[in-house]
A and B are shown apart, each in its own frame.
Chain A
Amino acid sequence: MISFENVTKSYRGSILALRECSVRVEKGEFVFIVGPSGSGKTTFIRLLLREETPDSGQIWLAGREVTQLAPWKVPYLRRNIGCVFQDFRLLPNKTVAENVSFALEVIGRPKHVVTTQVHQALDLVGLGKKQSRLPHELSGGEQQRVAVARAFVNRPLVLLADEPTGNLDPKTSLGIMRLLDRINRTGTTVMVATHDASMVDAMRRRVIELEHGELVRDQARGVYGYST
């Protein structure tokens, strides 16, 4: 599904964010990316989205080489990837339902498809009853659920989450992780970059650890760090 082959990425020619990184992730896997701040986790995600291009190496997603993609094909690549961030990135003047349907409308999905898929996605994240609220009328955890619904509404092959629980308390975080787990069980590949040790330890899934841009650990049912 996803494959990094000797990927090196530096910013402004000097700062090495990723060094000769090689990883394979199969379809339907759930993977944590851990590592200290500045180790290259966000860079990994941005490369996969083709928001950045690597200095060298190849990146494969669903049989396509991401780095070689023509610029006009990049939007179609992104339609296969759902994204969730620490800061939710919801549109403040749109309701919950509008935020989710926006993701389908702007890629030209017909109205009846939008209606049914938005309904299903909101039910999945448990916000069916709050669909007419504005983001500021929701708790942080609920806002992040809306963001997950928006990322998932187009049924992507891959769901990427960059510190999705960074702004949430442990209990709420656990709820979001359960939600990501549920999405993973529908067959969606899920990758979560996180600092949240307790979450990684609780889930016991595959862990990839980066340090100074190098892959230092790849463990099948791992924990956050060796120190514990």
Chain B
Amino acid sequence: MTMSMEYAAREAAGNLWRNRLMTITAILTVAVSLSLLGATMIMRQAVAGVTVNWGKGVNIIVFMHSNASGGQLQAVHQQLASMPQVSHCYYVDHQASFTEMKQMFSSQPDVYQQAGLTASEVPTSYRCSLSNPKDAQVVASTFQNQPGVRSIYDPIQQANTIKNISGIIQLVFVIIAVILLLSAAVLILNTIRLAIFARRREVAVMKLVGATNWFIRIPFMLEGLSQGIIGAIVATGVVFGMQAALGYLVHHTHSALLRSLVPPQHDVVTTVIVVFLVGMVVGALGSLIAIRRFLEV
């Protein structure tokens, strides 16, 4: 038994080496397609995190000019209070905003220290919850040209924009990944076909002396499977690379939105598992079809 396993492994490795150019092409195609698949999954998880992060409470933020007059503040406050869509509102004053900003840029204090910002120069804001988050657009448009209002921040809409864009990117990635996976299966099929052809004499002798069908097939199966798995290993490296890059981006960005993009670690594990499974399926599929069509046992 151990001898047969040893034999199968040796045969598969020998075949891979003999057709190394074809093998590398097949492995790279698998790796690229699986990387795309992994990227799509990471993107999905990261974007899903956006809603979770902004979903609790605050639906809209009205930023005021730092020098807005008391009357202007009062007007905005009263208008917000009177709107039926707004369920709850609170004011973040100069001091609180300054503290919040310090926290935001804790890793790069020079951003505000060099500018010599003082608390009174930081914009204040109203943070509001809506009874129905879909009304954010309506509420935002009311304050668009209001005196004293600096800008209106609509996290839901921002998140939706990101989701729409990323949705399109994901779709494109998945389509490309599927096409590449099919090509990868065909490439693997072809390497196995060549291996079967190169070893037709050995196969004929094996059949004659009574080697079992599985004994004859397994080296070719292993060959296809290992191409899928090696491709998956490469793609796993790429997935972890992307995860690290995303992490770096998130920790060094000023954008609160990007900060919400950190995919939790267990999602990466899911991605890696899926990448491996798909790699194995593609490898197995390619070799099975080749064995069915070109290896008569």
Task: Tell me the A residues contacting B by CB distance below 8 Å.
Answer: 49, 71-72, 75-79, 81, 83, 89, 91-92, 102-103, 105-108, 110-111, 150, 154
- Which of A72, A107, A110 has the most chain B CB atoms inside 10 A of its CB? A107
B175 → chain A, closest Cβ, in Å? 42
CB atoms of A103 and B205 under 8 A apart: yes
CB atoms of B205 and A108 under 8 A apart: no
* A89–B209 alpha-carbon span in the complex (Å): 12
| A110 closest partner in B (C-beta) | B3
Number of B interface residues at 8 Å Cβ cutoff, please give it.
Answer: 18
B213 partner residues in chain A, CB cutoff 8 A: 71-72, 75
| B214 closest partner in A (C-beta) | A72
CB atoms of A72 and B212 under 8 A apart: yes
Q: Point out the residue from A102, A107, A110 that lies within 8 Å of B210, measured CB to CB.
A: A107
CB atoms of A106 and B1 under 8 A apart: no
| B211 closest partner in A (C-beta) | A106
Q: Point out the residue from B1, B201, B207 that lies within 8 Å of A78, measured CB to CB.
A: B207
A79 partner residues in chain B, CB cutoff 8 A: 209-210
CB atoms of A78 and B209 under 8 A apart: yes
| A74 closest partner in B (C-beta) | B210
CB atoms of B4 and A108 under 8 A apart: yes
B209 partner residues in chain A, CB cutoff 8 A: 78-79, 102-103, 106-107, 150, 154
Which 7 A-B pairs have CB atoms at the shortest separation, nearest pair first? A78-B210, A79-B210, A106-B211, A103-B209, A75-B210, A75-B212, A106-B206
B204 at the interface (CB under 8 A from A): yes
B208 at the interface (CB under 8 A from A): yes
19 inter-chain pairs at a CB distance below 8 angstroms, sorted by A residue, are A75-B213, A78-B209, A78-B210, A79-B210, A83-B208, A89-B204, A91-B205, A92-B201, A102-B205, A103-B205, A106-B209, A106-B216, A107-B210, A107-B211, A108-B1, A108-B4, A108-B215, A111-B3, A154-B210
The A-contacting residues of B in range 39-93, CB under 8 angstroms, are none
* A76–B206 alpha-carbon span in the complex (Å): 12
CB atoms of A89 and B205 under 8 A apart: yes
CB atoms of A105 and B205 under 8 A apart: no
B197 at the interface (CB under 8 A from A): no
A92 partner residues in chain B, CB cutoff 8 A: 201
A70 → chain B, closest Cβ, in Å? 12
B202 at the interface (CB under 8 A from A): yes
CB atoms of A78 and B215 under 8 A apart: no
* A79–B206 alpha-carbon span in the complex (Å): 10
B7 at the interface (CB under 8 A from A): yes
| B203 closest partner in A (C-beta) | A106
* A105–B212 alpha-carbon span in the complex (Å): 12
* A157–B1 alpha-carbon span in the complex (Å): 25
A71 partner residues in chain B, CB cutoff 8 A: 213
* A92–B204 alpha-carbon span in the complex (Å): 13
Q: Point out the residue from A81, A89, A105, A154 that lies within 8 Å of B7, measured CB to CB.
A: A105
- Given A75-B210, A78-B207, A79-B210, the answer on whether A105 and B201 have CB atoms closer than 8 Å is no
